[in-house]
Amino acid sequence: MLVPLTEVLGPARDRGRGLGAFNVIHLEHAEALVGAAEDVGLPVVLQISENTVAWHGSLAPLAAATRTLAERASVPVVLHLDHAVSVDLVRESLDLGFTSVMFDGSTLDDAANRSTTREVVSLCHERGVDVEAELGEIGGKDGVHAPGVRTDPVEAQRFALDTGVDALAVAVGSSHAMTERTAALDLELVVAIRAAVPVPLVLHGSSGVPDDGLVAGVRAGMTKVNIATHLSSVFTGAVRHHLESDARLVDSRRYLGPARSAMRAEAARLLELLALR
């Protein structure tokens, strides 16, 4: 069933549990992620990033397929536009039935970030769509953010109150696009931000955080946990294995199917890990 972000994010925060948010690059990803959520009976956030939109050349086809899967799912599924820097793309996502939007104004100066985020919040809330935004820079995004950046709790509180966002992405030690799980979260900072900010916190760049770090981060106060690169690595690893094992293989279903299954199994494991089961 397709649901708003706050319908599953608020209860997760109140119970001290994490909510898995995983990126969709193509249909097999969406199928794997919805299947994983159904396997463990937990909600999931399906994220389509602006970078993925650019790669496909448009948003509508992948969004339509992903939304159909979400609507037919037996568990709550959020359809989320991730790292949108274009307000026009946000508007398009509203028309396509997205239930959540992450506006990324981190490359703007502070005044412009707040002003545009408020504009996005107004647009989305008029349509019953939730908004996530970002104050502090998250390490590694497109090579422009330093991994050492940290979010100030007081500034995070002011930003959330000033913009009216429903969730806030904060910088606490993770970094985008990591292929090794070696990042260490600043758990004391997470606790401080959680105490100061009135909305649920979002951890980006979580692929680089090991299992015990993810659990500790959720227990310290993180709620929505974004994982993309790690699951893509699992998917690609399975594709590579099947292609290398049979040089005559030409039917893409023969290697995409096992890759989808591998991603489904790992996503299910992560959903349960984050839910502290």
Residue 85 DSSP SS3: coil
Spatial distance between the Cα atoms of 255 and 157, rounded to a whole number of angstroms? 47
Q: Which of 82, 104, 130, 166 is catalytic?
A: 82
Catalytic-residue membership of 109: no
Q: Cα separations (Å) of 243 from 231, 238, 239, 258, 270?
A: 19, 9, 6, 11, 26
Spatial distance between the Cα atoms of 30 and 6, rounded to a whole number of angstroms? 21
Spatial distance between the Cα atoms of 104 and 269, rounded to a whole number of angstroms? 29
Spatial distance between the Cα atoms of 168 and 156, rounded to a whole number of angstroms? 8
Residue 192 DSSP SS3: helix
Contact 249, 243 (CB under 8 A): yes
Residue 193 DSSP SS3: helix
Query: CB atoms < 10 A from the CB of 92, how many?
Result: 18
User: Among all residues, which ones are annotated catalytic?
Assistant: 82
